Amino acid sequence: MIDISSIANIPPFIIYFLGAALLPLFGKGSARKVYLILLAVVGLIGVVVLEQHVGWVFAVLPGLDLTFLYVDRLSLIMGYIFAIIGAAAILYSLDIVKENGELMCGLLYLGSAMGAVFAGDFFTLYIFWEIMAFASLGLIWYTRTERATNAGMRYILFHLFGGCALLAGIIINYMSTGAISLVPGALGIGHFPVEMGIGYFLLLIGIGVNTAFIFLHTWLPDSYPKATLAGAVFMCVFTTKTGVYVLARTFPGAKLSLFFGDGIPFIAYIGGLMCVYGVVFALLQNDVRKLLSYHIISQVGYMVAGVGIGTYIGINGGIAHVFNHILYKALLFMCMGAVIYSTGRRNLTDLGGLARKMPVTTITCIIAALSISGVVGFNGYVSKGMIIHAAELSHMHILALVLMLGSIGTFLSFLKLTYFTFFRRNDEIEAKEAPIFMLIPMCVVAFLCVAFGVYPKMLYEILPYKAVALHYDAFALAHTVGTLELLAMTAFMFFAFRVLIMPHERITYDIDYIYRKAGRGIIWFCEKPLTAFANAMDSGVHRLTDSAVWFSRNPAAASIVLITATCTKLRNPFGSEDNGQERDLKEEKPQLVDEPMEKLSIGAGVMIVLLFFAIYLIVMFIHGWLAP
Amino acid sequence: MIGKILKIVLVGIAVVLGVALVLFMYDEHIMGFYLVFGMVGVGLFLVAMQILSLIQREGQQDD
């Protein structure tokens, strides 16, 4: 019997990168299915056998090492959930993805996310960060529509901007603090030194793009709905959660000092803003995957708030929410992918009546909706409660109320999604249940949502601060009853005011409207005034060179013409340009210059050169003589 | 349009009063806080949706 715990620690990204490289060898038939299932299993085992340690260190420059494997409790929990949902996404893709290229993009994306969370230093992290951006771009472009191509361009532009900011932040921070390693040693998670200054804010912007901070979030609801059905399942998991992971490493509990006091934990309040902002925009959406995309922003807001609070229970809550959110959000994207696959429709206004036709999808979607809404007995309830509890313990009561408000909006939004997708009467719709390879991962993930909700101790065991987590009572009576009251009232209000929440075919403007307008303005500026200026400069330079050529043909005659013209102008500065003298000069100008020059003999030329040389020597002599 | 704005303002005032009540109840830990908060929260979202609907335009929700 093989003892798998004795297998050496291998960075998990190698498994997935190698898997992607070998994929084309297996064609597109059953062999590919078997290979992908094996790859998913090997990837899971590869993470499970990892032990806490630092390895795979390569010296690239004196004093600069790249560490490809750093395993601690934080990276391990991220690795577990990435491997679980990666396996589910691979299974989900088996029947619906036809092109190997799309699967390779998915595997590279999964591998690079693994590489980022197990990176031991910021440069290694940056390398995987960029691979993630380009691999996920493939998942958008494989939709092969003009909308997807345009959205992909906007997506990659945003991520290149974020990547540049991150790299600049890393370098500036490295120059000032010398810190590059993410290995915290005895200090624990989140003790990476970041010095206040331009590097601090560039790092924050770089991380903020991936984490979808408000004002940097527009790439997310723009691109995710346009990704392929399987691609969206991959995409909803890795980019934003890797951002939260890096945030937990670098900015837990970060405070910004204003004019007075100790400073405010601004990251936590950014999270609160994200939480409500995402929900409000989600409620306005008609496209089911756009609605889910806005909910990613909202849910990531909870994680950012947890990390921003910065206490042990806050970080635990944030990371627990990463774990739970990945489960139910991937499940929601899988369910909506199944609905789009079966019906060809993606707008709530066109859907309805699917509960009888797609019962498994309906049940799994309801489980995911209850989980994301934080209903008691489902996994979202545990982690959301932990974050709100952390906010109250830190006396951040406004933040706690904002996060509870986010819960209300989330439940409202998912009542809308499930009701208008599955239960509203629609006799026209034709659909049948999704293929078995789509249903299996959906059922497994739905089971996990319930399992972690009913028995949260399984999750507490793998959280970064286990001892603190084990002291948290998720099912405290007051909290449980309070949550049920809150959600019951929300459900009542939804059915009472359902007409106001009806989906409509409308375009909702987000902040990207301003960016796009500004972008069009920049293009106009480049095409019109900038091009006109360039043309003016071009013709100016041409005129200058023409004049130089004209002057050099006969410098003596040209000088006479220029002097005469200048004197004429000085004598009559306000006179008309068409007076007789100037007209004569214009006529004479070409003739004078075209006259042959007076030629000097060679001896005279040498004399002039010697004369200038003698003057030069005298000047140099006087300069040397005068010099101290 | 003006009627719609007036309606939003009136509902907004009601919601603000509700928020004040929620904050008071939260501070004093009065029973039924979560029920009131649920009601006020939904009201807040409905008002926010109505306000944002002013800058929406008809069409497919694509780009």
Q: How many CB atoms lie within 10 A of CB A31?
A: 11
Residues A270 and A414 in one domain: yes
From A480, A504, A528, the end of a domain falls on A504
Cβ–Cβ below 8 Å for A507 and B60? yes
Q: Is residue A2 part of a domain?
A: yes
The partner residue sitting opposite B59, judged by closest CB among A279, A283, A507, is A507
Q: Which helix (H) or strand (E) holds A559?
A: helix A555-571
Q: Is residue A291 part of a domain?
A: yes
Q: Is residue B30 part of a domain?
A: yes
Query: Which domain does A485 fall in, by range?
Result: 262-504
Pairing of strands A506-507, A64-71: unpaired
pLDDT one-digit tens code per residue, A190-206: 677 778 889 899 999 99
Nearest residue in chain B measured CA to CA from A480: B34
CA distances from A71 to A11, A111, A514 (A): 9, 16, 42
Instruction: Please provide residue A375's backbone torsions phi and psi, each rounded to the nearest 5 degrees.
Output: -75, 140
Q: Is residue A562 part of a domain?
A: no
From A438, A471, A504, the end of a domain falls on A504
- Chain A nearest-CA distance from B12, in A, is 15
The partner residue sitting opposite B61, judged by closest CB among A285, A485, A490, is A285
Cβ–Cβ below 8 Å for B52 and A409? no
Whole-angstrom distance, CA of residue A619 vs CA of residue A615 = 6
Q: Give counts: helices (H), strands (E), chain A.
A: 24, 3
The partner residue sitting opposite B46, judged by closest CB among A405, A497, A508, is A497
Q: Is residue A575 part of a domain?
A: no
pLDDT given for residue A103 in this prediction: 94
Residue pair A354/A361 in contact by the 8 Å Cβ criterion:
yes
Q: For chain A, what is the domain count?
A: 3
- Chain B nearest-CA distance from A405, in A, is 6
Q: Is residue B45 part of a domain?
A: yes
Residues A80 and A137 in one domain: yes
Q: Is residue B59 part of a domain?
A: no
Q: Is residue B60 part of a domain?
A: no
Whole-angstrom distance, CA of residue A624 vs CA of residue A619 = 9
Whole-angstrom distance, CA of residue B15 vs CA of residue B8 = 10
Residues A43 and A166 in one domain: yes
Cβ–Cβ below 8 Å for B56 and A488? no
Cβ–Cβ below 8 Å for B41 and A497? no
Q: For chain B, what is the domain count?
A: 1
Instruction: Please provide residue A118's backbone torsions phi and psi, each rounded to the nearest 5 degrees.
Output: -100, 10
What DSSP state is assigned to residue A79? H
- Considering only CA atoms, give the Rg of chain A: 34
Q: Is residue A530 part of a domain?
A: no
The partner residue sitting opposite A284, judged by closest CB among B34, B41, B52, is B52
Q: Is residue B2 part of a domain?
A: no
The partner residue sitting opposite A287, judged by closest CB among B48, B56, B61, is B61
Q: A47-80 b/e with 16+ CB inside 10 Å = b?
A: beebeeebbbeeeeeeeeebbbbbbbbbbbbbbb
A and B: number of Cβ contacts within 8 A: 104
Mean pLDDT, each 10-residue run in order, chain A (628 residues) = 58 94 90 94 93 83 85 93 95 92 95 94 93 95 92 94 94 87 71 82 94 93 93 94 93 79 86 95 92 95 95 94 96 96 92 92 96 93 95 93 94 94 90 93 96 94 91 89 90 88 84 88 92 94 90 80 85 65 64 65 87 93 76
Q: Is residue B35 part of a domain?
A: yes
- Chain B nearest-CA distance from A500, in A, is 7
CA distances from A97 to A100, A213, A405 (A): 8, 32, 39
Contacts of B42 in chain A (CB under 8 A): 408, 412, 489-490, 493-494, 497
Q: Is residue B29 part of a domain?
A: yes
Q: Is residue A140 part of a domain?
A: yes
Residues A343 and A370 in one domain: yes
Q: pLDDT > 90: what percent of chain B?
A: 3
Residues A244 and A269 in one domain: no
Q: Is residue A27 part of a domain?
A: yes
Q: Is residue A450 part of a domain?
A: yes
Query: Which domain does B25 fall in, by range?
Result: 18-54
Q: Coil, helix or strand for A375?
A: coil
Nearest residue in chain B measured CA to CA from A499: B46
> Counting Cβ atoms within 10 Å, is residue B19 exposed (0-12), middle (13-18) or buried (19+)?
middle
Q: Coil, helix or strand for A390?
A: helix
Whole-angstrom distance, CA of residue B24 vs CA of residue B18 = 10
- Chain B nearest-CA distance from A457, in A, is 27
Contacts of B53 in chain A (CB under 8 A): 284, 506
pLDDT given for residue A583 in this prediction: 66
- Residue B29's pLDDT band (boundaries 50, 70, 90)? low
Which one of B27, B61, B63 makes the best mutation probe of the A interface by having the most chain A beta carbons within 10 Å? B61
Cβ–Cβ below 8 Å for A485 and B41? no
Residues A285 and A320 in one domain: yes
ipTM score of complex: 0.78
Q: Which residues contact A58 (CB under 8 A, 6 or more apart)?
A: A65, A66, A68
Q: Is residue B4 part of a domain?
A: no
From A224, A248, A272, the end of a domain falls on A248
pLDDT given for residue A224 in this prediction: 94
Cβ–Cβ below 8 Å for B33 and A280? no
Angle at A376 between CA A244 and CA A423, to 5 degrees: 95
Which one of B8, B45, B49, B50 makes the best mutation probe of the A interface by having the most chain A beta carbons within 10 Å? B45
pLDDT given for residue A627 in this prediction: 67
Q: Which residue has the tokens 């601690």?
A: A72
CA distances from A622 to A43, A454, A615, A625 (A): 82, 96, 11, 5
- Chain A nearest-CA distance from B51, in A, is 11
Cβ–Cβ below 8 Å for B56 and A494? no
